[in-house]
Amino acid sequence: MVRNIDQHVGRRIRQARALRGLSMEKLAQALGISYQQLQKYEVGSNRVSCGRLWLIGQTLDLPIGFFFDGLENEGLAAGGDDALVSRRTINAARQLEEIEDPALRDQLVAMIRTCARSGHVVS
- Categorise residue 44: left if φ over 0, alpha if ψ from -120 to 50, beta otherwise: left
pLDDT digits (tens, 9 = 90+) for 88-108: 777 788 888 888 998 998 899
User: Quick one: pLDDT at residue 81?
Assistant: 45
Q: What is the pTM of this model?
A: 0.64
How does pLDDT run across 47-79, given as a tens digit for each residue?
Answer: 999 999 999 999 999 999 999 988 876 654 444
30 pLDDT tier (thresholds 50, 70, 90): very high
